[in-house]
Structure 1
């Protein structure tokens, strides 16, 4: 998994909110479980990058991203949200990620998936 392969040996990945995709992860295993959950809950999700701001040298690179996420959900529901992500890299490896989305939009999407027979959107966040 490319995203997991880009993580430093020691990292922190936080996704704001108390929902199935929220939480704080610090291990490769929890990140793999989290990405599998994303792919299960938001199959076919598409990310479109709108802005990327980069600052710093290779020893500490700070990146801010504004993106859109969209995709079709079960029950003929369309998911569209804005994502803000703040990352820190050290020598090309991700050491921290903080993700913020419109939580009301995300929680409505998770509810739509749950209403169509998938219990995963109701699961507790993956934390470690």
Structure 2
């Protein structure tokens, strides 16, 4: 039995080391996939990751700011994101905790180009969120809110 006990301990150690890395890689791949789909105007993959009672907080005084609850409110916010031509890319995806109490921290940059391909908006920030069993339950965006307000002015000049 001592040989079997050692094998079980070794298997447990290996699983404990490998599984969190696989989980983090899977979450990172999903986040990046959803961003690509969003860039193509497809909200469905992102919306599928939300819990029904998801809570989203975007601080500041821009038209983007607010606290949004539930998929329907977030769908409107995301649709506006897509309609204005914003694109988001994730530089880092950090994942911590088990599937029933996961914390994620996403380092991103977002931008928008006009019809000539010139960049009219750039920003960067961090998204901090909570995930339970694969569903995002709460997240907050931290970015330069001054730039968000300047983007509002740009959109208003164009009647958007």
Q: Distance in 1 between matches of 2:144 and 2:114?
A: 17
Query: Does 2:143 correspond to 1:101?
Result: yes
Q: Scaled by the length of structure 1, what TM-score is found?
A: 0.82
Structure with higher RCO (Cα < 8 A, 6+ apart): 1
Give the alignment of 1:19-38 within 5 angstroms.
Answer: 19-38=62-81
The structure 2 residue matched to 1:12, chosen from 55, 80, 91, is 55
The structure 1 residue matched to 2:159, chosen from 110, 117, 123, is 117
Q: RMSD of the TM alignment (CA)?
A: 1.7
Kindly name which structure, 1 or 2, has the bigger radius of gyration based on alpha carbons.
2
More helix by share: 2
Q: Scaled by the length of structure 2, what TM-score is found?
A: 0.66
Length, aligned pairs only:
116
Q: Deviations over 1:75-112 (max 9, x none)?
A: 96521100210011001100111011101111111101
- Tell me which stretches of 4 or more aligned residues in structure 1 moved more than 6 Å: none
Task: Report SS of the residue matched to 1:104.
Answer: helix
Q: Distance in 2 between matches of 1:25 and 1:105?
A: 21
Query: Does 2:92 correspond to 1:51?
Result: yes
Structure 2 unaligned blocks of 5 or more: 1-43
Structure 1 unaligned blocks of 5 or more: 119-128
